[in-house]
Each structure stands twice: as structure tokens, then as C-alpha cells.
Amino acid sequence: MTQQDLATEYATIKAEAEVLAGDLMDIPQRATVLNEIYLDSGRNHTFPQIAVHGALWAFGFFEVGGRLGRLIAKRYFYSSKERAYRLGILQTFAEDFRRINRLVCIDTYTNYHFSKRFGREPGADQWIHPDLLAQLNRVHACSATGDSLSPDEKQEVFRQSFKWEQELTVAPGVQAAIEAFDCPFMRGLCTKPIVRFAFFPRWRFLWFRNFYNKDERIKKGLQVYDYARTVGWDQVVESIGRYGLMTEVALSSPREHFRNIKQRLLPES
């Protein structure tokens, strides 16, 4: 294939990803798309599964009606004006966070399906970073034979996926969102979240000193992977329902649910 052919195919797959990612509030839909990638890979590509938890947790934490919003409402109970002002700041940050989540979904879907179809073509590394492409090609080769990567191999796939998603998409988005704050109190709240995904072992949390710091986010992301590896991937998948955002059919028949979404949004694909 020529570079122009690869460019066309990449653009086509990305356009499909943008449709499937939905609008900013379509978080359960994006969770379904990401979960499908994990299942399609023969459970070898674990990054999208962790991304599902990240998106669902963030909705319950950063949204105005979530834990942080309730804390702000209590903190400024004495002034409706101050309360509304700070909840407005939180709403803007939550929208920025959803925008980042949507871009992560688009990137993950595009990279996975482009590499699945064209990852061995000369020049494919012009569209996906060579280190990440090598790991995705390993996933596809393994899942094509029905085999499973070793735990250490899965971890390396996750590490490369997480690293480059942070470098290329998440870091610029988080930087822009946090730098937009003009309220020190709100900046402090949003940059020091206490994170607990549904599958974490008992009494395990992630305490961020500065969510703005990319290196800390990467370090904490690898810690999340260690927790997932400890509890087992079946438990990671099963715990998705604890956030209360996914429908019963999405949980009980995830692949059929994804096919129905794709048929509805992309009937000619």
C-alpha cells in the first residue's frame, strides 16, 4: 500500500471512531466501545478496559452532581452566588475532562483497528508511534491464534498504550483544563483527587499530589494496572456495573450491545 492509501484508511477508521465515541455526555457508549476492543483482542489489550473505569469514575467524581460537586455545595452553603460560581467552574472542568475521555476513545479505537488491518504494512509507523505499533501488532498476532499474552507482555502493551496516550492526548488536554482555573480553591480540589476505581482492593486509593503532573499520572496509572493484575481481569470487567451508569444489556451482553450501537450509528459499515 502507498502512504496515501494508508492515510485514507486511517482517516476512514478515525471518522468511524468519532461517530462511535458519541457526544461528550455519551460516556456509557464510549465505555461499551472500549470494552469491545478489550474483548475483541482476546482480552490481551488491557488499556481500554482500564480506560473504561477511568471514564466512569470521573463522571461520578468531577460532575456537578458528583462527589466533588456535593463537597463544593457544602463548602459554600452560606452563599448561593459563590456556590453557583464555583459549581460553574467545576462544570467547565468536567466538560473538558469528558472531551479528553472522548479523544482517548477515538485514539484507542483508531489505533487498534488501523493496526489490526494495516499494522504490518510498510509505513504504518507513520500513523502510530513505532513502540506502540509493535505492541499492538503483538496483540493482534496473539489474538488471531486464540492465544493469550503472558502477564508481563500484557503489562508492556498497557505501558506503551498508556504512555503515548498521556503524551499525545491527555497531557495537552489536562494542561489546558487546569490552566483555565482562576480560583485557587477549585484548582486545589481538582488537582488533588482521591481516586478509587471499582475493582481496587479494599482500602486502596490513589492520592494525587498534583494531577497536573504528567509523570505522576503515569506512575499512578501503572499502579492501577498492578491493582488490576492483583484482583484479576475478570473482576475488573465485572466491577464496571458498580458505577451505576451502564445498562443491564451492556453488562450482560456487551458484544451484542456494541454491535447494535454500531449498526444504529454506522449502518453501512
pLDDT digits (tens, 9 = 90+) for 43-90: 999 999 999 999 998 877 655 455 666 666 666 666 677 667 666 767
**What is the torsion angle, in degrees rounded to the nearest 10, for the CA atoms of residue 82, residue 86, residue 92 and residue 98?**
-140
> What digits encode the pLDDT tens for the residues 85-107?
666 767 777 788 888 899 999 99
Give the length of the chain: 269
Least confident of 77-91, 191-205, 241-255: 77-91
Task: In whole angstroms, give the CA distance from residue 60 to residue 67.
Answer: 7
What DSSP assignment string belongs to 34-47?
Answer: HHHHHHHTTS---H
Residues sharing a CB contact under 8 Å with residue 260, sequence separation 6 or more, in sequence order: none
Instruction: Output the CA torsion 263→111→45→202 (10° steps).
Output: -90
Torsion angle, alpha carbons of 227, 130, 35, 140, to 10:
-110
3-state SS class at 2: coil
At residue 251, the pLDDT reads 96
Residue type, 127: W
- Whole-model pTM: value is 0.89
CA 196 distance to own-chain centroid: 15
Instruction: Identify the pLDDT of residue 231.
Output: 96
Residue 45 backbone zone (phi > 0: left; psi -120 to 50: alpha; other: beta):
beta
Higher-scoring residue by pLDDT: 68, 11: 11
Enter the DSSP assignment of 121.
S
Find cell 472522548 and name the residue. 102
Local confidence band at 257 (pLDDT 50, 70, 90 cut-offs): very high
